[in-house]
Amino acid sequence: MPDRPLIETVDLVKTYRVGSSTVKALDHFSIDIEEGEMVAIMGPSGSGKTSLLNLIGALDRPDSGTVRVKNVEIDRLGEEQRARFRKHNIGFIFQFFNLIPSLTAIENVLVPIMFEKEKPTRKAADLLERVGLGDRFDHLPGMLSGGERQRVAIARALINDPLIILADEPTGNIDSETAREIVSLFKELNDEGKTLVLATHDRLVAGRAKVMVKIRDGRMVRGKAHSRDGMMSLSPKEGGGREK
Amino acid sequence: MSDRRPSFNSATYALSHLRHDLFRSTTIVITLGLTIAFILLTSSLLFGLVNEISGTDEKASILEGRIPGSLSMFEEFRLTGNELSEDSKSALVNYLLVTSTIVFAVALFIMFNTMSIAVQERRSEIGVLRSVGFSSKEVMKIFLTEGAVIGTISFLGALFLGTPFIVNLAAYLIDRGESGIFFVQPVIPLQLVVIIGALTITLTVSTTYLAIRKNLGVDPVEMLRPSG
Ligand SMILES: Nc1ncnc2c1ncn2[C@@H]1O[C@H](COP(=O)(O)OP(=O)(O)O)[C@@H](O)[C@H]1O
Ligand SMILES: [Mg+2]
């Protein structure tokens, strides 16, 4: 069997029912993402970026089509199996940080492993130090700036050593200076071998990605590779006529 | 230094949340605590009566002097002979059970409502827990632990703050003046304390379960969507 890409979606269709009408968020969307890539998904608000990340991250299931991550067809997994898959493979970063407001920075980082027998508090502390929050361990999210909250969220996303990091508009709510730092952090993680998929309409963020994909109305408008080593693994696969 | 911090688990999670949502947690804890204190108080007095009243008219009238209306109440229990009849004892126990059940039910209903509203506000938190890979059982465990922590705090508070109150009330009821005899010496059997404690925690955990149940099946994506 030939090596499959780390992430492979085929003909994804995702619709939402709102009252009696339906909204098509993804319209036969197909993309391959190789291990170690850093991909920016760009598109206007409502184009389907979040829907795509939710499917890749096993948070949601498509109406039709396939999502294969690490050779697992995650669209076939049940709710609880997808939760376990997320725990070990995916680190999520959200636009609104999604920290737990009652927990301190370090507790937020420890949340994903709170039911494990081994709780490497040291590792959580190291991660916070790494994202530049060595002196903010016991701060509640409410006492942190947007950029600091996002860095806590990044540390939390890293605590389980996921192979894949999915960031949904990670700089949407922070100033451009902090955004620059966060993008550098993403770049660093990518250099260490993590696969990153970033949904964004921030050119600064997209510019640092190896690969840029444009999405509109749930369809890929443009797939563009601009990496130095000429990695052209990204293949926009229009319309769904794809052999298996 | 950070290696030595206490380990982070669902109990510390619950405590952090209760501290953060202080107004709501205080409301629940005070309601429950007063209820448990009331139950401890009534039962300790009633157990005391069963133990100590020898049933003379003299004592009954002194009691009436202390607690107006008590005479008619005890007449129902037919305090006539030297011993409380079996009927009277079971009447006392029934009285205790009925009042305790009613106040407990009211307190739990208040807790259920408060928790239900709190859970609605914490839907995105549930979404976050799901997104980092918790099973619905693990999310449930976090919330049930919180229910158990609330129950424990309320119970211990009622026990340690309520007991001195009971002792003081007893001192008032003890007639040293005219007859020099104990009227009602409150009795709190250890068994009763254990039963009330276990009951409190079981019921607070069940109430929490009822309050959260509906929200666990909901799609994590729905829960994470900002502003619905
Ligand atoms: N849970 C939902 N219910 C109804 N409509 C939704 C839901 N999630 C997304 N949509 C709709 O689907 C489309 C794509 O949304 P989304 O994936 O969030 O796009 P983006 O992240 O690019 O803004 C939008 O029209 C949006 O309104
Ligand atoms: Mg979005």
Domain boundaries, chain A: 36-58+77-236
Digit-coded pLDDT (tens) for A79-102:
999 999 999 999 999 999 999 999
Residue nearest to atom 6 of ligand 1 (CA): A16
Q: Mean pLDDT in runs of 10 for chain B (228 residues)?
A: 67 95 93 90 73 57 63 50 56 78 91 89 92 94 96 94 75 51 64 91 94 82 71
pLDDT at B44: 78
CA of A16 vs chain B CAs: smallest distance (Å): 11
> How far is residue A94's CA from residue A171's CA, in Å, rounded to a whole number?
9
pLDDT at B177: 41
List residues of chain B with CB under 8 Å from any CB of chain A.
Answer: 2-3, 5, 7-10, 12-13, 16-17, 19-21, 124-125, 127-136, 138, 141, 219-221, 224, 226
DSSP result, B151-192: HHHHHHHHHHHHHHHHHHHHHHH-B-SSS-B-S------HHH
Contact A92 B12 (CB under 8 A): no
CA of B211 vs chain A CAs: smallest distance (Å): 20
- By mean pLDDT, which of A136-150, A166-180, B66-80, B155-169 is the weakest? B66-80
Considering only alpha carbons, which residue of chain B is nearest residue A78? B135
Which ligand is the nearest neighbour of the Cα of A172?
2
State the fold for domain A36-58+77-236: Rossmann fold (3.40.50)
The one-letter amino acid at A190 = N
Residue nearest to atom 26 of ligand 1 (CA): A46
Binding site membership of A200 for ligand 1 (Cβ less than 6 Å): no
Contact B135 A84 (CB under 8 A): yes
- By mean pLDDT, which of A12-21, A174-183, B214-223 is the weakest? B214-223
CA B80 from chain centre, in angstroms, equals 34
Q: Which residues of B touch A94 (CB under 8 A)?
A: 224
Greatest distance between any 2 Cα atoms in chain B = 74
Q: By the 8 A CB rule, do B60 and B74 touch?
A: yes
Residue with tokens 């970063």: A93
Domain boundaries, chain B: 9-215
Which helix (H) or strand (E) covers residue A146, if one does? Answer: helix A146-158
- Which two tokens mark A74? 């995650």
Burial (CB count within 10 angstroms: exposed 0-12, middle 13-18, buried 19+), residue A36: middle
- By mean pLDDT, which of A157-171, A209-223, B67-81 is the weakest? B67-81
Q: Which of these, A135, A50, A132, lies nearest to A98 by C-alpha position?
A: A50
- By mean pLDDT, which of A157-171, A202-216, B141-155 is the weakest? A202-216
> How far is residue A64's CA from residue A45's CA, in Å, rounded to a whole number?
23
Q: How far is the CA of A26 from the centre of ligand 1 (A)?
A: 9
pLDDT at A28: 94
pLDDT at B4: 52
DSSP result, A162-227: -SEEEEESTTTTS-HHHHHHHHHHHHHHHHTT-EEEEEE--HHHHHHSSEEEEEETTEEEEEEE--
pLDDT at B220: 81
Q: By the 8 A CB rule, do A100 and B224 touch?
A: no
Residue nearest to atom 11 of ligand 1 (CA): A25
> How far is residue A190's CA from residue A194's CA, in Å, rounded to a whole number?
5
CA of A76 vs chain B CAs: smallest distance (Å): 16
Q: Which residues of B touch A125 (CB under 8 A)?
A: 2
Q: At what angle do helices B22-52 and B136-173 cross, to 10 degrees?
A: 50
